[in-house]
Amino acid sequence: MKIINLFAITAIGLLILTGCGTGASSRHESLLTISAENMQGLDDHQWSAVKEIDGRKARVVTGRDTASFIVPAWWGNSARPGDGEIFVLEIDYQDAFSAPFIVYSFGNSANSRNQMSELHRIAGENTAGWKTAYVPVSWDYLFAGAGAPSGVGNQAFGIKLGDEAKELPVSEIRIRKAATGDESRYNAETRAWIKKSQEKYEFKDSSSTAALPDTWNTKSCVPYLRDYLSPILPWAAPREGEAGATMKLRMSLNEIESKQLGVYANGKDLENVSINVSALKNEAGEALNAETSLYTVEYALIKARGNRPPQVDAQRIWPLYETPVKAGRSQAFWLSFKTKQQTAKPGLYKGEISVLIHGKPAEKIPLEIEVMPISLLTMDEAGLSMGGCVTGFIPFHDITYAVENNVNAINLWYSSTRPNMSKTDGKLKLDFTLIDEWMKKAKQLGMQNIVYFLGGNPYGFPKTMRIEQELFMTMHDEGTPEERSAKYLKLAADPANRGYIIKEIREAYGEWVKQFTEHAQQNGWPEVILTPFDEPAKHRQQPYRKEGNENDSTVIGTGPWIKTHFEDGCDLIRKYAAPGTRIYGSIHHPSGIEFLPKINVFCTNAIFDDPELGNKVRAGGEGKYFWQYTGIGGGGGSEPTKMRYAFGFYFGAYDSRGSLLWAYNWGGRFNTTQGNNWMICWDTPFSTIPTLSYEGLREAWDDRRYIETLRKIAKDKGKEEEIRIFLDDIFSQATNTKTEGGVDTVNDFWADTKSPEKLDRWRFLIADKIIELSKI
């Protein structure tokens, strides 16, 4: 594809583009209009020449790969538009297909290797008529700065056909500012294509018997309460004491607290159901100064474990939308309240929640929020770190959401995100242009640290030693890329070499570490914590175990060589890294304590095998940090209890100061019926769409914030020993409620509790103790 500067061409009149400038006032006024004749940056293998179809001039997307095109950066001379700006691409196309087509943009928010981010999928109906697709794109999905694949000043987009589509005629593309209704349309269209893609699956329905008191037994619309740790599914029904109950919350002056509300259709179908919340006021008539957000829970199919068919899950929490509820079925809604320390005032506030039918109140229940006189320590103030594994760079608005929800770190993998590497005059050269832009902004938005995996799973050794392979292919440039790759894999697997980083790249490995860590420290990045590769304690497993790589003859997998190879990598990092650089290890076996002399951050999922691991790490002295990790099931479903219990009181019992989650967004784009989907959220151009698991994760770290706030005030009041005994009792209860599962540190390491109802009880015991000590 030939790259051209569209600004220059426009200036001399060779490209006909119409626009109204950035000050356009009408919601439909175009900032930029591109006709089929004037599309630029096209690959002839993916786009046809201009042809006339139904009286329109059009180009046809014909290939199976992403068909790229570029437009001038309509927002001006900056690399991105202003923070928070959102635009809409209006794409006129012929509906000659049934499978959705996908629209992408380059925003330096997927990875640093010029990969585009998915914006939207447009479901076809195969009508042969002409339609307009409305594709939103936010400021952080756009990038036309230095390092952009389309050149400075040019924005790259792409269109990819669905599996069943053979071609897609496109006649015109217009770009405008987003307006009222664009977000709700995007959300609805997304849920529609998810539903359409899942229609082929059958699932077993279920039913429940409603336990309704006389006051609700004759009503068709029944609101009811249930702890979000027990998600309401479509076939749920009110249990005893739930129908019409008062929703009660207790929260601090700086906290997000959420509740689940079910609506049961008693005896008849309900249409266009939603909810509303009144103003909340205290006895003096003063309104609660808090942010209230309302949501609808989407029911979708997720991949089940084993060979079972997909199963229904209360999966995603979308901004509020109206939905039908069939007779004898339920719908979950979500309410979120956010207090801010600068404006919130302690007290008891009362209001009501209305269930709306066609926008009109049908039933109401009372709502009470107690704002406690407690200011929680933030994650940073408490010295706590929480990060999830991501597939690459995430959009900046997703970082803002993460930090607000107690996720103040991230875990990146070299295979997806890295500076460009080259050789100049025989020396290694790293290009930080793209990675710099993202890292600096991530730090500004509150991202504190990044665990950076230079290699992957030992089961794929040596192929998963990603940085080592790329260093070899860069520094030894004889032959084709395929030949160089094969040569590296053969050398690295050789019995004489496999226990160490091969001699051909040792100097380059050290130079890479030196350049990378020094640049990070000098250029305002989050703290970068390096690790040679993942889970080195797998060296204790049977030699040549290579799950998932059985048919790959270049892979030898795990064995004794993994231990010495990891330690060698740690030694090289220690030798060449900038001062203060920490080295990390994901240790899935208690014997992994043997790696402690080589690493700073010891992160384990095997605390149940050795409850003293944390103390052993801390006994290593200054510069040793104990962390813990766990994961989410691979179906992309909601597991709020596991998240809250594991990252909260269970890990808190061992005083780990940081955690990793496998994983944050590692999976499919909304439809999670196939493949592995380790994820707790999806990003859209408008917002972050979480699962209930994300809510459980945030609440887990709020539990930890309560714990650390109590410890601090105990220290200030000279009550440390009293509070240590108090907390130890809670921690003992927490560890004793762990279920028997979750003891396979490779395939089943998800801690769960037998007593989810105790989680709030323990939190409020701590909250009451904070209030008690504050009065001394």
pLDDT exceeds 60 at position 677: yes
Share of the chain above pLDDT 70, in %: 94
**What pLDDT was estimated at residue 9?**
27
- The whole-model pTM stands at 0.93
* Residue among 69, 157, 149 at smallest CA distance from 685: 157
Residue 15 or residue 88, greater confidence: 88
Question: Mind listing the pLDDT tens digit for each residue in 435-467?
Answer: 999 999 999 999 999 999 999 999 999 999 999
Residue 424 or residue 8, greater confidence: 424
**What pLDDT was estimated at residue 752?**
79
Average pLDDT, stretch 345-369?
A: 98
pLDDT band at 744 (very low <50, low <70, confident <90, very high): very low
pLDDT exceeds 50 at position 7: no
Question: Mind listing the pLDDT tens digit for each residue in 547-571?
Answer: 999 999 999 999 999 999 999 999 9
Alpha-carbon separation of residue 277 from 196, 293, 629 (angstroms)? 32, 9, 38
**What pLDDT was estimated at residue 113?**
55
Nearest 5 degrees, angle CA 647-CA 635-CA 411?
50
To the nearest whole number, what is the mean pLDDT of the chain? 92
* Residue among 723, 717, 728, 712 at smallest CA distance from 769: 723
pLDDT band at 139 (very low <50, low <70, confident <90, very high): very high
pLDDT exceeds 90 at position 682: yes
* Cα–Cα distance for residue pair 265/378, rounded to 1 Å: 41
pLDDT exceeds 70 at position 26: no
Alpha-carbon separation of residue 75 from 5, 28, 85, 133, 467 (angstroms)? 15, 17, 10, 22, 37
pLDDT exceeds 70 at position 3: no
Locus of tokens 């330096």: 108
pLDDT band at 110 (very low <50, low <70, confident <90, very high): low
Average pLDDT, stretch 594-602?
A: 98
**What pLDDT was estimated at residue 76?**
95
For 732, the 3-state DSSP assignment is helix
Residue 34 or residue 162, greater confidence: 34
**What pLDDT was estimated at residue 114?**
60
Average pLDDT, stretch 565-584?
A: 98
Question: Mind listing the pLDDT tens digit for each residue in 38-93?
Answer: 999 999 999 999 999 999 999 999 888 899 999 999 999 999 999 999 999 999 99
